[in-house]
Structure 1
């Protein structure tokens, strides 16, 4: 019996081309969906969109719902390190034409993933983190047919990103000086993985309860084009995430749960107060636990436990 439990907690990594770009999918529970799978949890990551960062968070969700529902996370196009047998894109000219690594391309990439890998009748619990929340709102807007039971928005960057404290610092870097970062990134990518891991531990050393499962995915991020693709997408976020999409929020208000950080430099508390004023009947929560924007670094388990409490009722009706 023990081995059965252990296997249920061991995820599978799948690599595929989606929208012509290398995509990594981390799967807890069933690796293929059939008609008996009524509900799928799908994690839409922040940026960088590396699924390995969400491992502890997903594992906790999966276990707390007693392994009933598959929990998947889909990487952003080009933010993963594909196996040696795969290139980053399977058709460079069409990837460029569709701008698959850009923000719009990433939204279309998630819709393409659902079309290809998730049966239409499967209900979705979408969990977005940071820019993943913006992507979810866009998915719901572009495909109103999606069967979304709930969409949980964690630390949502869905408006005025360039005006935030972090946005003001990073906008010039991401939009105008991105290429300056490519040389150090390239040099870093040449280092052996164990040295990269050591550097990452050094940089994240101040986090006393660091989740060690994030080290390896970070090593991957520094290994090829992934970090450059993430920066390219980040530059577009600063230019494109401007006005909050109140129309889509209003249409789906009963399905949405927003969780704002109390000290989030990507998403000031003012944004929480603003959205609450505009939607007095919405479900908006302000963090009381001091979780950081990049909660996966040290609070994946705690945030997952909260999410389970919020949505348990919707799944057992």
Structure 2
């Protein structure tokens, strides 16, 4: 029996429709929240937005916090593989009209999830990764009444995405040639899951400490629609994540913690230097440990330990 099962802390995975789109929620702690849950951790993922990528990170964060607080993650709309009993969307026409899989739709999706599933009296500790950080800033801008105790921004892609080194490489694929990528994804989706897993291990074979928790969500991603929705969101990110939202950052500076990578090609060190110059009293940290942008591949536990340390004192106020 695993240590997690033995401790009675096995996570729950729930599937639901939110804004009419299939949504996966990974939950460490209670499966339902009640008014007595005064502090709730909610993780907003990067892209691809499958919560399974963050399982190790969330497990360690929950443990470091003494299992005292719910730690939940909500997937991006349409990024998870729908269970056999559920479709990708409840109403295809409404989903298209609301552009629920686009960047604006994903922001509204997270706000709707909070309205529907987080008690009004609960304070949120938001943890964002990559585009999840942009989504968090937009959530705070659109709903200033949102009860955010802290927001931790991990490897934040909140500005000039298409101008970043990785953005320059990926923009043509995501914006002009996205449909060409659908064919290989479709062909991969036809493979048995065991072969998909073997290919994934081969691709990541250079990462000696690969977290094998990422295999199952990556297999999910290669089932077709999830990958297409992820690429669609990526194309919108390149077009829409332009100027940094200094107004929202200024209004919430005391709540925000930013963690930049020293070798991150999505948000280079120049972006770290620029934001630290513009907000000299903010909490901006530069990774000194060589962690990659996709930290969940191998250092989820280490990053969770840091996050717990950063926000521990805030939980006591």
TM-score range, shorter chain: over 0.9
Query: Structure 1 residue 283: deviation in Å?
Result: 0.1
Match of 1:72 in 2: 72
List aligned pairs for 1:240-255, cutoff 5 A. 240-255=240-255
Write out aligned runs for 1:1-317 (5 A). 6=6, 8-317=8-317
Deviation at 1:82, TM superposition (A): 1.2
Shift of 1:7: 5.0
Q: How far is the alpha carbon of 1:6 from its aligned partner? A: 2.9
1:113 partner SS: helix
CA–CA separation in structure 2 for the residues paired with 1:221 and 1:237: 19
Instruction: Structure 2: state its 5+ residue gaps.
Output: none
Quote the Cα distance in structure 2 between the aligned partners of 1:13 and 1:102. Answer: 24
Give unpaired runs (5+ residues) of structure 1: none
Q: Distance in 2 between matches of 1:7 and 1:191?
A: 37
CA pair 263-90 structure 1, distance change in 2 beyond 3 A:
same
Indicate how the Cα distance of structure 1 residues 8 and 136 shifts in structure 2: closer, same or farther if over 3 A, else same: farther
User: TM-score scaled to structure 2, two decimals?
Assistant: 0.98
User: In structure 2, how many angstroms separate the alpha carbons of the residues matched to 1:268 and 1:67?
Assistant: 35
Aligned to 1:214, what secondary structure does the other structure show? helix
Contact 1:8 1:28 in 2 (8 A): no
SS state of the match for residue 314, structure 1?
helix
Answer whether contact 1:8 1:67 (CA < 8 A) is retained: no
Give the distance between the partners of 1:81 and 1:90, measured in 2 at CA.
Answer: 14
Cα deviation, 1:67-126, whole Å, max 9, x if unaligned, reads: 100100000000000110000000000000000000000000000000110111110000
CA distance in 1, matches of 2:204, 2:10: 26
CA 91–310 in structure 1, closer or farther in 2 if over 3 Å, else same? same
Q: Residue 316 of structure 1: CA displacement?
A: 1.7
Residue 9 of structure 1: CA displacement?
A: 2.7
Alignment check: 8 A CA contact 1:9 1:63 kept: no
Q: Distance in 2 between matches of 1:193 and 1:129?
A: 27
Give the Cα separation in 1 of the matches to 2:254 and 2:66.
26
2:4–2:10 Cα contact (<8 Å) kept: no
Distance change in 2, residues 1:250/1:162 (3 Å):
same
Distance 1:255 1:194, change over 3 A: same
* Counterparts of 1:127 and 1:293, CA distance in 2: 15
Provide the alpha-carbon RMSD of the alignment: 1.1
Separation in structure 2 between the aligned mates of residue 4 and residue 182 of structure 1, nearest angstrom: 38
Q: Distance in 2 between matches of 1:283 and 1:119?
A: 28
For residues 4 and 282 of structure 1, the distance between their equivalents in structure 2, rounded to whole angstroms, comes to 37
Counterpart-to-counterpart distance in 1, 2:100 and 2:42? 20
CA contact (8 A) 1:120 1:146 kept: no
* Residues in 1 aligned to 2:3 and 2:165: alpha-carbon distance in whole angstroms: 48
